[in-house]
Homo-oligomer: A and B are copies of this chain.
Amino acid sequence: MGIAFKVDSEIANTSIYVCDLQLSKVYLKDDKDNPWFLLVPRKNKSEELVDLTFEEQNLLMEEITIVSEFFRKEFAPFKLNVGTLGNIVRQLHVHVIARYENDRAWPGPIWGVPATQCYTSEEIKGIISRFKDFTH
């Protein structure tokens, strides 16, 4: 048995847990301007995509696709931004972000630019529930 997987406390404390997919834990950022999910592969000591096996990389790509298709269905993004930076939180995590032509950082990158609106708890419940339906 390996050591139990633990999500970095910065992610756990600043994002909302959504569910587990086959490889990753899914989190929602409280950013009503720009729907924003994080995928955190449940693999200890991973910091880079290349720290995953080939099979895990393909699974992660599948999970990016699931989130992307959910975003297209629910939030009509003008553009999706997908990236793994990890300059601040080193644990491997992938951002999937819905971008709009009039959003707060357009057309620049949105990392580090604070959200201007939060969700209500009802809205959060709705997004989590619809994502779970979407993946079943």
Contacts and interface: CB of A to CB of B under 8 A. Distances in A.
Nearest to A64: B49
Interface of A: 47-50, 54, 57-58, 60-62, 64-65, 68-69, 72, 79-88, 90, 99, 106-109, 111-112
- Report how many copies the assembly holds: 2
B80 A48 contact: yes
A72 to B, nearest CB: 8
A87 B99 contact: yes
9 contacts: A49-B68, A50-B65, A50-B80, A79-B87, A82-B84, A83-B84, A87-B99, A87-B107, A108-B112
A49 B84 CA distance: 14
A68 B84 CA distance: 13
B112 A111 contact: no
Nearest to A48: B80
Contacts of A107: 87-88
